[in-house]
Chain A
């Protein structure tokens, strides 16, 4: 019998954006499987709630309020993780600050400041975290990094500029870091979610009613549709996968050639 790849006892995980949504679910999932978990994010209260939830399962956790776009805060976060729990094995680059894009603005109205805010929130923060954590991972010759991109990193829509560019950057950042650390037993992979509900209250939004028009599977995902894949990518069950960007979008991009419901039928071809 091979060692259980989902036994994370002795492993230390850092989850950014760990106060809500996917980050919270992944942090709790890793904790349940035995990992010690540091959760980072801007707002202290939600972080503490995640920590309390992990403590309730009998595992170790620590909240470290952090703005991932500030590299000095990120470096302090990673150093604190390593000093508090002794190492850092897993990084979930989940924090993202959307909202810089304004669909009503022309491209030439995007100021330098807004451009940088959009790129930094979604891309630079992930680089800062990987840069700091990767140093420990390469030194210990073990690490798993999971980035979170978006279907908008492949396809795009009108009015969206920085978000898509940054998320495409996360996809290539995944490949670049995977290549840099492929010889150091550090795997870097990325999930590419389509539309999913971040918070329980999102379920009430009208998007749920419209989702059947453009999501082939017919529903909007929740964090539980993503968590087990992230756990797979954090585990040694995927140790020969690296640099991979995995679509989790209910076939939305595969089906983005025509509206759902378009089902042409032609006569049987002549033999």
Chain B
């Protein structure tokens, strides 16, 4: 077997996740690539296996102590992965301001808090890799997903802004933008089929290889860039 051209050996990595379908695969990909992994997960939900785990309480603001604690536990951070999308769908006209605020808090504010909490150590060390897992609804959208889509667009553009802001600090900030990622081997329904050029659902495993690249030192001159892993949805008219 040939060695992979890049790895994450001994990299101190914090995965902040809502523990959805991607989490076990992302955690395994990071660990298999050699990372020392600490997972920040919602209180009451069992996270995937890792060197350490830290529960986080409720809202975006609660991420600050949790991410701090995860970094303290490893005495540093090299890589931060944010897997924080929380779907919410409702007709815009019926959406309360509270619901809008909650969707923005869960999807966008949470990424803000996580990145800012990690930034102190990364800036001090002048080294870091941040990977935000975002949804393709941040670039194209569907009916009833206004709040979620706006927040995900925010995550994508926040990725660009931080990539630029920390360009001279050797902190690379990129995003993986997933298409229809499902935890199922079911065949595509005919109604969906024509929207996915690759003609299959995406699976969490499809994100793993790109994640390892973006978290690695090999990702040096690319920053602020969304990597669409969507089976070609973005190239359709």
Contact = CB atoms under 8 A, between A and B. Distances in A.
Contacts of A255: 164, 167
Contacts of B212: 237
Contacts of B160: 254
Residue among B160, B209, B231 with the highest chain A CB neighbour number at 10 A: B209
A9 B3 CA distance: 12
B221 A254 contact: no
Contact of A216 (B164, B202, B228, B230): B164
Interface string B195-235: 00111001101101110110010111111110111111011
Contacts of B228: 241, 244
Interface in B157-201: 160, 163-164, 167-168, 179, 197-199
A224 B6 CA distance: 12
B225 A247 contact: yes
Contact of B210 (A9, A225, A238): A238
B206 A240 contact: yes
A250 B53 CA distance: 34
Interface in A206-255: 216-218, 221, 224-229, 231-232, 235-244, 246-251, 254-255
A32 interface: yes
Contacts of A236: 209
B91 interface: no
- Interface secondary structure of B, over-half rule: loop
Contact of A248 (B4, B164, B179, B221): B221
Contacts of B46: none
Contact of B168 (A32, A33, A218, A229): A218
Interface string B1-41: 11111100000000000000000000000001000000000
B236 interface: yes
Given A8-B2, A250-B221, A254-B164, A243 B206 contact: no
B235 A178 contact: yes
Nearest to B198: A182
Contacts of B227: 241, 244, 246
A126 B6 CA distance: 28
B232 A243 contact: yes
Contact of A232 (B1, B3, B213): B213
Given A183-B199, A232-B213, A6 B163 contact: no
Residue among B3, B222, B224 with the highest chain A CB neighbour number at 10 A: B222
A237 B164 contact: no
Contacts of B5: 6, 29, 33, 227-228, 231
A175 B237 CA distance: 11
Given A238-B209, A254-B224, A4 B2 contact: yes
A138 interface: no
B218 A5 contact: no
A246 B226 CA distance: 8
A108 to B, nearest CB: 34
Given A7-B2, A248-B221, A179 B236 contact: yes
B209 A235 contact: yes
Given A196-B221, A229-B222, A178 B213 contact: no
Contacts of A240: 179, 198, 202-203, 206, 229-231
Given A182-B197, A240-B206, A251-B163, A6 B4 contact: yes
Contacts of A6: 2-5
Given A179-B197, A218-B168, A194 B229 contact: no
Given A4-B1, A183-B197, A243-B197, A225 B164 contact: no
Given A178-B235, A221-B221, 19 more contacts: A4-B1, A32-B2, A33-B5, A179-B232, A179-B236, A183-B197, A216-B164, A225-B220, A227-B5, A229-B213, A232-B213, A240-B179, A243-B232, A243-B234, A247-B225, A250-B221, A251-B167, A254-B163, A255-B164
7 contacts: A216-B164, A229-B213, A232-B213, A238-B229, A241-B227, A242-B235, A247-B225
Interface of B: 1-6, 32, 160, 163-164, 167-168, 179, 197-199, 202-203, 205-206, 208-210, 212-213, 216, 218-225, 227-232, 234-236
